[in-house]
Amino acid sequence: ILEAEGYGVKLVSNAEEAIDALESQYFDMMIMDVKMPRKDGVYLLEKIREKWPLDIWPELPILVMTGYPTPETIKILKEKGSRFFIPKPFTPDELLGCVQKVLKKEQKK
């Protein structure tokens, strides 16, 4: 979906691969799921902010997708450093619109 719209995409399978990718290159944004193999999205957010606190890498917007967008889940994810969310299921157009909105918000900073 995103590649067809001209975005560069790096696909990883789990939290450890995501951390390795972040250590090796710069990204304009990150899209992740709360549910992942081995370690979940909350763990990944904790590790990202441990390695790159908001005062060091504040401009990394993290879009979290979740099938369980309860107020409690959203609160926990916000506390861990995510500001953007998309509930599952979503359409390709909804994902694309959300990505465009996130990147536009970040460019205004």
Helix axes 41-51, 71-79, angle to 10 degrees: 20
CA distances from 102 to 43, 67, 83, 96 (A): 22, 19, 9, 10
Quote the pLDDT of residue 56: 61
Query: Is the overall model pTM greater than 0.85, yes or no?
Result: yes
Q: What is the pLDDT of residues 9-68, one digit of tens each?
A: 999 999 999 999 999 998 999 999 999 888 999 999 999 988 887 666 667 899 999 998
- CATH architecture under which domain 3-107 falls: 3-Layer(aba) Sandwich (3.40)
Structure tokens belonging to residue 60 = 């990394």
CB atoms inside a 10 Å sphere around CB 30? 21
What is the residue extent of each domain of the chain?
Answer: 3-107
Amino acid residing at 68: Y
Structure tokens belonging to residue 18 = 């995501």
